[in-house]
Amino acid sequence: MAFDLENWKTQIRKGYLELCILTLISREGQIYGFEILSQMEKFEMPLKEGTLYPLLNRMTEDGVLAAKWETQGPKGHPRKFYSLTAAGKKLLWGMSEEFERMVSVTQNLSKNERRKKNDEIHTA
- 3-state SS record for 99-118: HHHHHHHHHHHHHCCCCCCC
From 41, 62, 57, 47, select the one nearest 16 (Cα to Cα). Answer: 47
Query: Least distance from C-beta 49 to a second copy, angstroms?
Result: 20
Residue 115 touches DNA, criterion: CB under 7 A = no
Residue 122 interacting partner from a second copy, DNA, none (CB closer than 5 to 8 Å by kind): none
Count CB atoms within 10 A of the CB of residue 121: 7
Residue 119 binding a second copy, by CB under 8 A: no
Q: Which does 117 bind (CB under 5 to 8 A by kind): a second copy, DNA, none?
A: none
Q: Does 83 bind a second copy (CB under 8 A)?
A: no
Report the Cα–Cα distance between both ends of the chain, in Å, rounded.
38
Question: Which H or E element spans position 32?
Answer: strand 31-32
User: Which one of 14-22, 83-91, 92-100, 108-116 is the stretch in contact with DNA (CB under 7 A)?
Assistant: 14-22
Judged by the rule CB under 7 A, the positions of this chain that interact with DNA are: 1, 3, 7-8, 10-11, 13-18, 32-35, 47-51, 53-58, 72, 74-80
